Every structure is written in C-alpha cells, then in structure tokens.
C-alpha cells in the first residue's frame, strides 16, 4: 500500500506566551542521594530517558540521562572475589548460607556521582520564543523551569514545544 503525503506551505505558530505555558508542571524528579539502582527503576517503570536531579530542598542540581548511566557502566570496573574466599559461603556472622541462596553485591553508587551537574533553566515568566531560542543555542532537549528560590516547578521538553505548535 502506497501512501502519499502532501504538505501545504504554511507557517506554524507557537501557541504559548511563556515558559509556564509550555512546561510540564510538577515533574517527576530524583533526589541526588538516591542510588543508581533506584534511578534505573524509575526510568524503567516510567519509561523515562532523563530526569531532573534535585537536592533535599527541591532545587535542581543536575540531570540524569540514560547516556550518563551508560557511560558510568562502561567505565565501571568490577573485581571478582577469588574462589578460595567464597567457599564455603557464610554471612559476616559466620552463619553458613544454604544451598540455592545467593549474595548480591549491591551497587551503592549515588545519582550525584553519575549525573551531569549542569542545570539549564528558565523562569516561568520567560517568553516562549526565548525558551525555544535557548534550547537551540544550548543544543538541549530539556530545560528546567525554576522559581525565584531555585525550586524546580516544571520541565520543558522538545515534545512540549511540538504540542504547542499550531498550523
């Protein structure tokens, strides 16, 4: 089946005046002290590829992306425990571990250790045209929206901008 698409020459209009009009409010974020395992669970469960990273006061301190995690994983080195140290398997208290059980080597890496510590942000009252220009200038797919105290109140993605376009 062949489908042809004819595009008329027309201008698109951004149907937004400010960053507040474009942004996704109250975005899901992750605390900088969360473990990388918790961040991965968030990404998988929500279908995210990026999340703002906040401190305990809700201020944006960075961004964690799937690329950050892949770079970390590629550069991480795990050393194996020599076989003589693992036989027989016992707990720290010397209790023998029953057959069929395993000991997990828990990765305690924190989000702050892996994130990109750059915050590209605008205020809610920033003109929408300025938001688009900034995203192009910075070559980024997301901008954070922060209030006057620096608290994260929204995120603007390229998809948010596309949703605001009208023919």
What's the pLDDT score for residue 5?
56
Instruction: For residue 121, give every residue at least 6 positions away whose Cβ sits within 8 Å of its Cβ, in sequence order, or none.
Output: 60, 143, 144, 145, 146
**Which domain range does residue 34 map to?**
14-166
Two tokens at 158? 């390229």
Identify whether the C-beta of residue 108 lies closer than 8 Å to the C-beta of residue 36.
Answer: no
- Can you tell me the distance from the alpha carbon of 104 to that of 117, in angstroms, rounded to the nearest whole number? 30
What's the pLDDT score for residue 114?
96
132 occurs within a structural domain? yes
- Can you tell me the distance from the alpha carbon of 49 to that of 54, in angstroms, rounded to the nearest whole number? 16
Residue owning tokens 């200038």:
137
What is the chain's mean pLDDT, rounded? Answer: 88
130 occurs within a structural domain? yes
97 occurs within a structural domain? yes
112 occurs within a structural domain? yes
Identify whether the C-beta of residue 27 lies closer than 8 Å to the C-beta of residue 145.
Answer: no
7 occurs within a structural domain? no
User: Which residues of the chain are under the pLDDT cut of 70?
Assistant: 1-9, 78-89, 100-105
**Ramachandran sector of residue 60 (left: φ over 0; alpha: ψ -120 to 50; beta: rest):** beta
Identify whether the C-beta of residue 143 lies closer than 8 Å to the C-beta of residue 152.
Answer: no
8 occurs within a structural domain? no
53 occurs within a structural domain? yes
6 occurs within a structural domain? no
- Can you tell me the distance from the alpha carbon of 18 to that of 114, in angstroms, rounded to the nearest whole number? 32
What CATH number corresponds to the domain at position 47? 3.10.580.10
- Can you tell me the distance from the alpha carbon of 105 to that of 80, in angstroms, rounded to the nearest whole number? 11
- Domains: count for the chain: 1
pTM of structure = 0.77
H or E element at residue 159 = helix 158-163
Three state DSSP letters for 95-108: CECCCCCCCCCCCC
Comparing C-alpha atoms, which of 102, 105, 114 is closest to residue 79?
Answer: 105
């Amino acid at each position: 089946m062949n489908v042809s698409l004819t595009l008329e020459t027309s201008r698109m209009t951004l149907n937004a005046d400010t960053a507040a009009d474009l942004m996704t409010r109250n975005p899901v974020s992750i605390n900088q002290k969360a473990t990388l395992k918790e961040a991965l669970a968030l990404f998988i469960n929500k279908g995210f590829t990026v999340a703002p990273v906040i401190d305990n006061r809700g201020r944006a301190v960075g961004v964690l992306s799937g690329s950050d995690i892949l770079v970390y994983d590629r550069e991480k080195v795990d050393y194996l425990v020599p076989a003589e140290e693992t036989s027989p398997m016992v707990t720290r208290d010397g209790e023998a571990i029953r057959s069929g059980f395993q000991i997990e080597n828990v990765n305690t890496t924190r989000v702050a250790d892996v994130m990109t510590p750059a915050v590209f942000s605008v205020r809610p009252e920033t003109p929408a045209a300025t938001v688009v220009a900034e995203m192009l200038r910075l070559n980024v797919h997301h901008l954070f929206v922060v209030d006057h105290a620096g608290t994260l109140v929204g995120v603007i993605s390229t998809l948010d901008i596309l949703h605001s376009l009208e023919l």
